[in-house]
Amino acid sequence: MNKKETFLDTRTVVGIAVFSALAFVLSLVIRFPVMFLTFDVKDAIICTAAFIYGPVSAPIIAVLAALLELVTVSSTGLYGFLMNFFSSAALATTASLIYRGNRRTLNGAIVSMLLAVVTMVSVMMAANILITPYYMTGGSVEAVVKLIPSVLLPFNLAKGLLNAAITLLLYKPIKVAMKRAGLLKKKNTEEKIPLAEEFRFTRSTGVILAVAGVMVAAAVTLFYILMR
């Protein structure tokens, strides 16, 4: 039997389960209300996992994290589950697909996250128009559309940008740590690099910090405007 690793190898399955649980826990620990919506950082964990394991893992982790929330603390039922899934899956799947298509370069990571934010915001605007009226008391498509420029668009844009920034900051350290722990398979041609060199400050690190900083500043500004 061919022993080549497949998507469903043991390490991948365990990794997906761990990232799903971590995404769920963070959605409980780091969250805050913005008007009648709730912001959390689980999408950053799902995006990081999708960068590591590939685009197929993104919807799997998204649905598992949303299900855990549905059966435990959710007060929005099926509606909340659907919106959580669409948001996380759109962001993480898009980011991972574009990142892999750009051969996992620094520019590819930044571009993938920016385009993923645009995709996620677009998906959520459509989902709100199509789904929200059925769950909003006395709601209608017209009522939802009126909320888009003042609430829904800026909220989802801020949420996407902040999660994108966290992903850019987390991805490399988490991947390096997982390789060191033997949780990821190393390429046969990969040379062993001293730990100090793996985490040294480079030009790429500076670019990531700068881009992430701009994303965070934009997201915080949008949240401030919404909460005034």
DSSP string across 148-190 = IIIIIHHHHHHHHHHHHHHHHHHHHHHHHHHHHTT-SPPPTTP
Q: Give the separation between CA 186 and CA 191, rounded to whole angstroms.
A: 9
**CA dihedral (194, 112, 62, 83) positive or negative:** positive
- Please tell me the least confidently modeled range out of 20-34, 60-74, 171-185, 204-218: 171-185
Summary mean pLDDT of the chain: 87
Domain at 10-227: CATH code:
1.10.1760.20
How much is the average pLDDT of 210-226?
95
What's the full length of the chain, in residues? 228
Amino acid 73: pLDDT: 81
5 vs 113, higher pLDDT: 113
pTM, entire model: 0.88
How much is the average pLDDT of 145-164?
95
Amino acid 81: pLDDT: 93
